[in-house]
């Protein structure tokens, strides 16, 4: 399969690439990657806000 074909498929759904019979990498559309990054950023922002509300700033308790 050509790289362009992988790219075409990955725009619609994740493409799992195997190496020596084991799942090695997953190709996803850039828009999906950005969506996942936004979810992760929101998760960590929420965790940081919770820690700050509980009295933590940085690596020490204030």
**Whose CA is closest to 14, among 35, 1, 32?**
32
What span, in angstroms and rounded, lies between the C-alpha atoms of 24 and 13? 17
pLDDT tens profile 25-39? 999 999 999 999 999
List the chain domain ranges: 3-61
pLDDT digits (tens, 9 = 90+) for 7-29: 999 999 999 999 999 999 999 99
Q: 57 versus 51: which is more confidently predicted?
A: 51
Single pTM value for the model: 0.73
Close Cβ partners of 36 (under 8 Å, ≥ 6 residues apart): 28
């Amino acid at each position: 399969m050509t790289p362009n074909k992988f790219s075409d498929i990955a725009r619609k759904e994740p493409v799992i690439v195997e190496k020596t019979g084991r799942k090695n990498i997953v190709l996803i559309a850039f828009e999906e990657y950005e969506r996942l990054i936004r979810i992760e950023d929101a998760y960590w922002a929420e965790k940081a806000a919770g820690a700050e509300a509980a009295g933590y700033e940085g690596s020490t308790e204030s």
